[in-house]
Chains A and B, each alone.
Chain A
Amino acid sequence: MKKIILLTATIATAMWSEGITINGSIPPAAIVGFDNPITENLLDNTFTFKDIVIDIGSIPLGSKIAPVTKQIYAKTNSVNGITMEITDTKGWAKGQILNEDEDAINMKYSLMGSSYSIKNHPVVELTSSTSDGSASIGVFVIEQKSNISSDQPEGHYSAVFNVTIASQ
């Protein structure tokens, strides 16, 4: 009889604790642009690069332009920061600018202080944490790879790159 009473008491103590859990989340977002501080508001879960047209001007025959430097501004609430990836819309290209006949002028680029290969399009960290967009966080630089020919065909040369901004 004594043994039976002890067993009942053990079962009674194995009770579950119940409660209410409230979860919420703030999605990350970012706006990145060149030249000017970012004043726009972030949009939930949206990572935007502000389209830009960079005019490197007239390229002297048999010579090079001076490097063109663009300041980078980023506003993000991503606690781990954001990255930037640049790809050529032609896919196969190495970042050349081309005229309508596809004569090429070879260019080179650097992003955040390091050489950037458009062909390999590495993902580069812009920030490692949140950023309010008020100050430049680095630079994007465009240079000619070498002097153009002294009889380089005239015309307008251009390239369009896709930019992908993502959170880390």
Chain B
Amino acid sequence: MKKLLSIAAVAALFTTGAIADTITVNGVVLAGAQVSFGSAPAGTLVAGTFAFEDAVVGFESLALDQDNVDNQNVFVKTNSNNGVSIALGTTPDLSDGTHTVPTTYALGGVDFVAGTAQSLTGGTNDGSVALANQFTTTAHPAADQVSGAYTATITATIAQN
């Protein structure tokens, strides 16, 4: 009996006594975004890049002494968990180089202030469906506005919320 106990003790001594330790694997996926007017973004996301696809908003002809309104559907493709925003660098009036037409820009009815961002989405978006909020340009020529071609160029900056 004594011998049996000794063998058991030695066996226990050589039992592995294993301890669990850890491997932690970490990786990161960077956010990116593509924003477009009129139709779904053509490009694929590029990590770390927030792009606005150049757009031309064209009024056919501006009616004198009244609001001329153009609404653009906005599409956003982004993998950003917090969504993305858009800011306009300036909010210029339409101009023919000499004369101007008072012009405002809005998203979902909220006018843009130059340099102040407005949120487009609060999370990820696959870009296939237009946002509920449209981008609206409103130009109001005077009753005796000088005829000609009027234009404005705006820098749009897309950023992560």
Contact = CB atoms under 8 A, between A and B. Distances in A.
Contacts of A28: 14, 16
A60 interface: yes
Contacts of B47: 58, 60-61
Interface string A66-93: 0000000000000000000011010000
Contacts of A86: 23
B17 A61 contact: no
Give the 6 A-B CB pairs with smallest separation, nearest first: A49-B21, A154-B31, A166-B16, A162-B20, A56-B27, A53-B24
B118 interface: no
Contacts of B13: 25, 27, 45
Interface string B1-41: 00000100010011011111111111111111000000000
B81 A154 contact: yes
A135 interface: no
Interface string A152-167: 1111111111111111
Contacts of B22: 49, 51-52, 89, 160-163
A107 B31 CA distance: 20
B19 A65 contact: no
Interface residues of B, number: 32
A33 to B, nearest CB: 9
A56 B29 contact: no
Contact of B14 (A27, A148, A155, A165): A27
Contact of A61 (B6, B19, B21, B44): B44
* A interface: dominant SS: strand
Contact of B27 (A46, A65, A140, A166): A65
Contact of B29 (A61, A107, A140, A161): A61
9 contacts: A56-B27, A105-B29, A107-B25, A153-B124, A154-B32, A155-B29, A156-B26, A157-B29, A159-B25
Given A159-B25, A162-B21, 13 more contacts: A25-B10, A45-B13, A56-B26, A59-B29, A61-B44, A61-B79, A150-B45, A156-B27, A157-B26, A157-B28, A164-B18, A166-B16, A167-B14
Contacts of A48: 19, 21
A66 B10 CA distance: 48
Contacts of B80: 154
B20 A163 contact: yes
A155 B28 contact: yes
